[in-house]
Amino acid sequence: MKFRAKIRSFKDITPTVRHFNLEVPLEIDFKAGQFLITDIPTETGKVKRSYSIASDPTKKGIIELCVKKIENGVGTRFYFNLKEGDTIDYTGPVGPFKIKDYQKNIAFISTGTGIAPFRAMIPDVLRQSDKKVVLLTGYRYDEELLYDKEMKELQEKYPNFSYYTCISRPKEGKGKYVQELLEHLPEDAAVYLCGLRAMIDDITKKLEEKGIKNIYFERYD
C-alpha cells in the first residue's frame, strides 16, 4: 500500500540517531517487526530506503521510526533535512520479520538501530505471553544507547522480561560485544536478530553451533 505520512515531531535521541513521530492514515495496520519503504526524491529520480517501524502496533494513526545518520547516505540526508509538518511517501508496511510463535521463550538481539523492530515486538509479546523474553543489545559508544530507560521500565513491569546491553568501545574499561551476552539466552528460545550483516552472520553461526534452530533475522545492509 502506498501512503503519505506527516512529521508530527522528531528528536535526536543520540548524537547520530533521530527518532521520528509520524502521523499516518488511520487504516494503516502493521505487525510488530515490519518496515516501511521510503520513496526518496533525488535529482536523478526516486530511490528507496527501508526503515523498521519502532512503535507499538496498537497505536493507531502513529508510526515511529529511528534513523541512524550515515555519512553521505542518501536516505539519512533526506531524513535529517526534514522539518515538522513535512510529508513523506511510503510503501508498506511490509516484511516477514514478525513473531512466529508467541508461546515460546524468545531472545531479541540487536546492534545499533537494529533495536527498532524490537521496540514494537517486545511490548507486543509481553502483552500476550508469560514465557521468558530477553533483549540483548550492543552499541559502539556509551552515548549511543537507544530506548534504554524504556527497556528498564519494561523490565520492572514484566518479571518475564530481562534486558542486557553492552558497549564495544566504552570511555572506561574493557569493551564488550553483544556476542558476549549470549550466556543470557533462555532455554529453547526462538532468536530474532536485527542489525548489520557482520553481526547477524557471526551470531547465527554461534547459535547454530549451540543447536538453536529457530533463528529469524532482519539485515540492514
Ligand X SMILES: Cc1cc2nc3c(=O)[nH]c(=O)nc-3n(C[C@H](O)[C@H](O)[C@H](O)COP(=O)(O)OP(=O)(O)OC[C@H]3O[C@@H](n4cnc5c(N)ncnc54)[C@H](O)[C@@H]3O)c2cc1C
Closest separation in Å from C-beta 117 to ligand X:
7
Contact call for residue 124 and ligand X (CB under 6 A): no
Contact call for residue 198 and ligand X (CB under 6 A): no
Binding footprint of ligand X, residue count (CB under 6 A): 20
On whether the CB atoms of residues 147 and 119 are closer than 8 A, the answer is yes
Strand order in the sheet with 87-94: 45-52, 35-42, 87-94, 2-14, 17-23, 62-68
Closest separation in Å from C-beta 187 to ligand X:
29
Residue 139 or 163 with smaller CB distance to ligand X:
139
Contact call for residue 50 and ligand X (CB under 6 A): yes
Residue 75 or 186 with smaller CB distance to ligand X:
75
Specify the DSSP element, H or E, that contains 146: none
Closest separation in Å from C-beta 13 to ligand X:
12
CA–CA gap between residue 57 and residue 61 (Å, rounded): 10
Residue 144 or 218 with smaller CB distance to ligand X:
218
Residue type, 135: L
CA–CA gap between residue 121 and residue 34 (Å, rounded): 9
Contact call for residue 218 and ligand X (CB under 6 A): yes
Among 33, 57, 93, 112, binds ligand X (CB under 6 A): 112
Closest separation in Å from C-beta 102 to ligand X:
22
Would you list the DSSP string of 70-89? -TT-HHHHHHHT--TT-EEE
Closest separation in Å from C-beta 213 to ligand X:
23
Nearest of 42, 39, 73, 38 to residue 52 by alpha carbon: 38
Residues at the site binding ligand X, with contacts judged by CB under 6 A: 35, 49-52, 66-68, 70, 73-76, 112-113, 116, 196, 218, 220-221
